[in-house]
């Protein structure tokens, strides 16, 4: 299929950037469709997010048996998850197992980062370069670059002057990091901060948590799987997957069967308590409409806040840990193991940056308006330029000279959360306009890759060398994504879903919140309708 290019250029049909869940499945699926597929990965091995985020306590907030590939029954049967919510090393081992089983690694160049991509209209190919000087040419460019993979380091005065050790949760070193006997500061109280704080507190001589915005977090209720669990998992797997594929969030969990208003106060509290004990992000969906109707949200929010007050002994610290700026669940609820109780330890303190903002980082530590906090280790758990950052940090230019960063300056316009007007033969997986970060990222990746390979195969069969979404179709999708969000409470939060965590980023709700199943149906309709939303050319 690949047309010959200059001898020092590596040619392929499909070039995939990123060897995480989506990138690996792209190789498997494209290869099985007879396409010559190559990949580039900045890390030294497969894993994507789960390669880089090695911080203590890193764990998925989706259950392991759901957060795993469904495409091969044999794979599903042979891999045995050790616990309900797998930790980073186990997920990384799983991804490595998949890479071995399907011989994926030989397709990838590791330790190379794609820096530029130019679409050459005359050859209808993407010309791509990496930071090591490799030049590649591909008919189709697939950005499997991850939604939470472009780390965000805040621009705090003096940040480079710190004399101690600096760590980032999003790029944690390989091998053990020993903080025993050290004074540790953690900036950031999103999922990464909340997961790492209880563990760092166990060995640090003192741990100071610098919190700008408090987050809601629910105990994970993680547990190891026993033999009985393994039998039950296999017996129920097919049904569980079927339910997930037909669900609104790619998981088998459903909200309470009754509206909250049909229950008396006791029954409401029991339902909330049950979800709290079940653990994790699902608390956000205890009741139908919980992230739609402010009155329902208030009841769940007050329940969670009472929990915080009941766990944290110091009343002022408890109040500081209660979010004041968003309805519960409109930022992703965090999943923890003893986070609130950690603030009862003598060696842990909380700095509320809303009351005492950071003035500067100094060689000795962090100076707030309240004085200097001396530190030996400074941990940045400060999040990501989510959903668009990993794409716009690559210099991608379409045939009409427009860069994708410019094209998305007023918000990321995509068609079906996969393709971008002005950028032919380009697929941005799990990207803006797709439900991935609100649903099950692995299943969304499978569905998108299947859909993408169907489209490429369709084009090849019909002799089309160029496929680009129509601008009106993309604008209509963008409007649909926005309307779906506007029907919920989500836009009320200054979240990374909104781009609100990055200075200067246009605020627009990026994921598709209209439902996982609805999204699958709309993608199927677009395919079955003969890809009318695309211009197919040659």
Verify binding: residue 192, ligand NA7, rule CB under 6 A. Answer: yes
CB 57 to ligand NA7: min, Å: 11
Contact with ligand NA7 (CB under 6 A): which of 382, 414, 419, 488?
A: 382
CB 335 to ligand NA7: min, Å: 9
Contact with ligand NA7 (CB under 6 A): which of 20, 23, 57, 188?
A: 188
Q: How far apart are CA 221 and CA 211, in angstroms?
A: 24
**Judging by beta carbons within 10 Å of its beta carbon (0-12, 13-18, 19+), is residue 362 exposed, middle or buried?**
middle
Residue 224 contacts residue 82 (beta carbons within 8 Å): yes
**Measured from the CB atom, is 88 or 189 closer to ligand NA7?**
189
Assigned token pair, 526: 């677009």
Contact with ligand NA7 (CB under 6 A): which of 275, 301, 332, 505?
A: 332
CB 331 to ligand NA7: min, Å: 7
Question: Which residue lies nearest ligand NA7, judged by its C-beta?
Answer: 190
- Applying CB under 6 A, the site for ligand NA7 has a residue count of 19
Alpha helices (H) in 122-213, listed in sequence order: 191-203
CB 480 to ligand NA7: min, Å: 23
Residue 23 contacts residue 149 (beta carbons within 8 Å): no
CB 193 to ligand NA7: min, Å: 6
Verify binding: residue 365, ligand NA7, rule CB under 6 A. Answer: no
Verify binding: residue 284, ligand NA7, rule CB under 6 A. Answer: no
Verify binding: residue 381, ligand NA7, rule CB under 6 A. Answer: yes
Q: How far apart are CA 523 and CA 448, in angstroms?
A: 9
Which among 62-70, 379-387, 476-484, 527-535 is the span making contact with ligand NA7, rule CB under 6 A? 379-387
Q: How far apart are CA 53 and CA 294, in angstroms?
A: 34
Contact with ligand NA7 (CB under 6 A): which of 20, 23, 250, 383?
A: 383
Residues 398-437 that bind ligand NA7 (CB under 6 A): none
Q: How far apart are CA 401 and CA 384, in angstroms?
A: 28
**Spatial CB neighbours of 100, under 8 Å, sequence gap ≥ 6:** none
Verify binding: residue 56, ligand NA7, rule CB under 6 A. Answer: no
Report the side by side order of strands in the sheet with 365-368: 358-361, 365-368, 371-374
Verify binding: residue 190, ligand NA7, rule CB under 6 A. Answer: yes
Verify binding: residue 501, ligand NA7, rule CB under 6 A. Answer: yes
CA nearest to 150, candidates 429, 386, 438, 427 = 386
CB 55 to ligand NA7: min, Å: 9
**Judging by beta carbons within 10 Å of its beta carbon (0-12, 13-18, 19+), is residue 431 exposed, middle or buried?**
buried
Instruction: Give the number of other Cβ atoms within 10 Å of residue 412's Cβ.
Output: 24
**Measured from the CB atom, is 94 or 477 closer to ligand NA7?**
94
Interface residues toward ligand NA7, by CB under 6 A: 148, 154, 156, 187-193, 212-213, 332, 353, 381-383, 496, 501
């Amino acid at each position: 299929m690949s047309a010959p290019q200059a001898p020092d250029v590596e040619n392929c049909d499909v070039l995939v950037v990123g060897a995480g869940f989506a990138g690996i499945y792209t190789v498997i699926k494209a290869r099985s469709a007879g396409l010559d597929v190559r990949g580039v990965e900045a890390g030294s091995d497969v894993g994507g997010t789960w390669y880089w985020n090695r911080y203590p306590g890193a764990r998925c907030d989706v259950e392991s048996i759901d957060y795993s590939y469904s495409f091969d029954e044999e794979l599903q049967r042979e891999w045995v998850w050790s616990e309900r919510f797998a930790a980073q090393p186990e997920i990384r081992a799983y991804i490595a197992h998949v890479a071995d089983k399907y011989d994926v690694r030989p397709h990838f160049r590791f330790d190379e980062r794609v820096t530029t991509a130019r679409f050459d209209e005359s050859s209808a190919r993407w010309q791509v370069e990496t930071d090591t000087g490799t030049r590649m040419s591909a008919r189709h460019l697939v950005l499997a670059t991850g939604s939470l993979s472009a780390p965000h380091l805040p621009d705090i005065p003096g940040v480079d002057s710190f004399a101690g050790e600096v760590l980032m949760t999003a790029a944690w070193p390989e091998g053990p990091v020993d903080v025993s006997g050290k004074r540790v500061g953690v900036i950031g109280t999103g999922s990464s901060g909340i997961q790492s704080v209880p563990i760092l507190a166990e060995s640090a001589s003192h741990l100071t948590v610098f919190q700008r915005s408090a987050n809601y977090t629910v105990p994970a209720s993680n547990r190891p799987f026993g033999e009985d669990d393994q039998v039950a998992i296999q017996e129920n797997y097919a049904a569980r997957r079927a339910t997930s594929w037909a669900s609104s969030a790619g998981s088998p969990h459903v909200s309470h069967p009754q509206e909250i208003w049909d229950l008396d106060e006791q029954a409401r509290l029991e339902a909330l308590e049950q979800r709290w004990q079940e653990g994790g992000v699902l608390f956000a969906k205890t009741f139908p409409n919980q992230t739609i109707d402010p009155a329902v949200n208030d009841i769940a929010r007050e329940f969670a806040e009472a929990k915080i007050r009941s766990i944290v002994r110091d009343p002022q610290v408890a109040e500081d840990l209660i979010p004041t700026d968003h309805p519960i669940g409109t930022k992703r609820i965090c999943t923890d193991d003893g986070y609130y109780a950690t603030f009862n330890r003598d060696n842990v303190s909380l700095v509320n940056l809303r009351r005492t903002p950071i003035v500067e980082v100094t060689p000795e530590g962090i100076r707030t308006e309240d004085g200097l906090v001396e530190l030996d280790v400074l941990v940045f758990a400060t999040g990501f330029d989510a959903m668009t950052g990993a794409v716009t940090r690559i210099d991608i230019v379409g045939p009409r000279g427009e860069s994708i960063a410019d094209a998305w300056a007023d918000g990321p316009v995509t068609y079906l959360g996969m393709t971008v007007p002005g950028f032919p033969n380009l697929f941005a997986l799990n990207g803006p306009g797709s439900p991935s970060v609100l649903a099950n990222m692995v299943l969304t990746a499978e569905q998108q890759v299947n859909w993408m390979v169907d489209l490429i195969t369709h084009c090849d069969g019909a002799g089309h060398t160029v496929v680009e979404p129509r601008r009106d179709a993309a604008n209509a999708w963008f409007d649909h994504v926005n309307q779906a969000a506007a029907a919920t409470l989500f836009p009320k939060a200054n979240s990374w879903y909104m781009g609100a965590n990055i200075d200067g980023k246009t605020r627009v709700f990026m994921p598709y919140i209209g439902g996982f199943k609805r999204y699958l149906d709309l993608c199927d309709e677009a395919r079955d309708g003969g890809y009318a939303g695309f211009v197919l050319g040659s």
